[in-house]
Amino acid sequence: MQSLENLRKEYSKATLDIKTVTPNPITQFEKWFGEALAAKLPEPNAMNLATVSSTGRPSSRIVLLKGIENNCFVFYSNYQSNKGKELEENPMCALNFFWPELERQVRIEGVTDRLSEEKSTAYFQSRPRASQVGAWSSPQSLVIADRKLLEDRVIEIEKRFKGHPALPKPKQWGGFQVDPFTIEFWQGRESRLHDRVLYTKTGSVWKISRLAP
């Protein structure tokens, strides 16, 4: 096995200047996200979601950004999953986007709230039917004996909703929106002297600062 101590990469593709970023970090994020899309990166909307329970135990996993609405970052999940329960106990969370091909990273910290039932239902019923069936079939995060339980549940749900053009949204499934209070943009630079621009929100006003790498 190659020594991990010797794994290094020089970053030199771009720069990030506090004088040229947009005043609003959401606009800056949309600019960078558009460039990630244009570069045809694999799943540019994949983000690490970090949560913490009331006991102080952190956990993280990859979820998919599904929109930006009212300056909030939107994703969907099962409310009875570990992340759903943790966000119910403690709505503070952190998101992290990493686009290595562009040598960029975006870190976001914010407060989470559920989307309305109407919005969650509209999105749920826009998903492929197999995904709708999957959401009904999986007791997410619970221990199961084997995969056959899931396969049997899929057959059961398919029979139950046969002939329905779209399935109703399960009560335990829906959307979250993250209202950010800090957003940091990171651009890799040579010799580890990376560019870091931090936006912090007080009230409705965003302050922009440069951080040392």
Catalytically annotated residues: 192
Tokens linked to 168: 């109703």
Distance (Å, rounded) from C-alpha 189 to C-alpha 192?
6
Tokens linked to 166: 């779209």
Beta partners for 46? 64
Distance (Å, rounded) from C-alpha 176 to C-alpha 76?
6
CB 138 within 8 A of CB 163: no
The three-state secondary structure class of 35 is helix
Listed in sequence order, the DSSP H helices in 52-167 are 82-89, 117-124, 129-137, 148-160
